[in-house]
Chains A and B, each alone.
Chain A
Amino acid sequence: SAAARRPWRLFGAMCLLRLPRITQPLEKEEEEMVALMEQIELEKSCYSDHEIRKLEEEEQLKRKKESLYDEDEARGKTVIMAQDLEEKWEQKFLQFKAAPRVTDADKSNDRKSLNRKLDSNLMLLVKQKIGNQELWLLPQVEWQPGETLRSTAERAMATFLGDHIQAKVLGNAPYGIYKYKFPRAIRTENNMGAKVFFFKAFLQSSDLSQADLKADYLWVTKKELGEYLKTEYLKKVNRFLLD
């Protein structure tokens, strides 16, 4: 019943994910397969209009070199050859410089930046005081009566990132739970421990300049979580994180 005092304190935590912006590099087998598929496609294809034009012009050039009746054939022929067109296109392509896949933030390992590791998911970790310890955790706040756990998690996000954060919360149900008992010193009959319910959200806006970051924060990938989170906590968090 809701009236009875439960011995577990409830917390709502939000796992905010920044989704990848670029594709992951291909594995070795995938690269080999791509090469094979391209080869097979080339073998099964027919000549395109451009290729036929190129072949004909090559024939013409050969005939011009061997014999000298280019006067008759040159009448009414275009000046631009297919080969010239190809070179022009190649030049244009080389002039274009795409944005680099490995950003400056990657090189400097700036873990506070959202521009790092553009091909993987980044998660928000904040430093919070639990008891008398400062720990790295997913942002969490205690549940207050009258709100659903999802709103608790959203409030946690707003507490650490400000109100102007655009995130899509994935559903009303929690994704994971971390249960722990308080150390014997503060454990009582009515206050045995805490249950932290995790919710997941996708970050929609990539611009966090408006965000009012109050505490110490980091954006880390799933692999780097092990450097910051405690083992038991990490085990529970890893279960609901897809790489």
Chain B
Amino acid sequence: PCRAQPKKKKKVDVKKEQAQKERMKKKLKKLEKAAPELIPIEDFITPLKYSESNRVRSLPTLSPEETERRVLLLKKWCLFKQKQDEAEKKAIKALVESQQEALKELRLESEELYEAAIRRDEGLFPFEREGPSYTPPLPGYDPPEGKCIDITKVYTQ
């Protein structure tokens, strides 16, 4: 009699614990199945303080001559950009033609050299270069000291 009762208790406890664990697992599964919360894009949300009315700039309205001038300028710009683009494309075409001609002549000379020429150059890419700036670098310039502390918020899903 002393032995039987504790055993029953243990069994019942174990069963209860197992049932509890299964309930917890089901809850976890339900939570995981729910779609993950989207990370907010901070650039697209305007903070509320910028929608206040005192923030609106007061400028004189545009005269019809001004709008006319702007429209004509935009049309001129369109033409300018089109000509620039055409010139670029023509230059690239000339480049490609020149290269094709060179390769054709090379092939006539020697097959071996031609094969060496059309092989891919593995060391070429990735090609990195710093672009031009407005003024050339000042020799002996000592930039002011300072530390840059990054305060961007990082979201985890």
Where the two chains meet, the residues of A that have a C-beta atom closer than 8 Å to any C-beta of B are 2, 6, 8, 10, 19-23, 27, 29-30, 32-33, 36, 42-43, 45-47, 52, 98-101, 103, 118-119, 148-150, 168-177, 179, 195, 197-198, 202, 236, 239-240, 242-243
Contacts and interface: CB of A to CB of B under 8 A. Distances in A.
Contacts of A150: 116-117
A175 B117 contact: no
B132 A119 contact: yes
A21 B132 contact: yes
A33 B109 CA distance: 52
Contact of A36 (B73, B105, B112): B73
B59 A174 contact: no
A240 B99 contact: yes
B113 A149 contact: yes
A174 B106 contact: yes
B21 interface: no
Contacts of A177: 98, 101-102, 105-106
Given A2-B110, A150-B117, 8 more contacts: A21-B136, A36-B70, A46-B57, A98-B135, A100-B136, A174-B99, A174-B103, A176-B98
Interface residues of B, number: 46
B135 A173 contact: no
Nearest to B59: A43
Contacts of B55: 46-47, 52
Interface string B82-122: 00000000011011011101110110011111001111110
Given A101-B136, A175-B99, A46 B56 contact: yes
Given A23-B134, A101-B136, A150-B117, A173 B99 contact: yes
A27 B80 contact: yes
B134 A99 contact: no
Contacts of B92: 242
A195 B105 contact: yes
B117 A20 contact: no
B133 interface: yes
A175 B132 contact: no
B95 A20 contact: no
B117 A172 contact: yes
A239 B132 contact: no
A6 B98 contact: no
Nearest to A29: B80
Contact of B54 (A47, A99, A169, A173): A47
B73 A198 contact: no
B38 interface: no
B91 A242 contact: yes
A189 B94 CA distance: 33
B137 A170 contact: no
A195 B121 contact: no
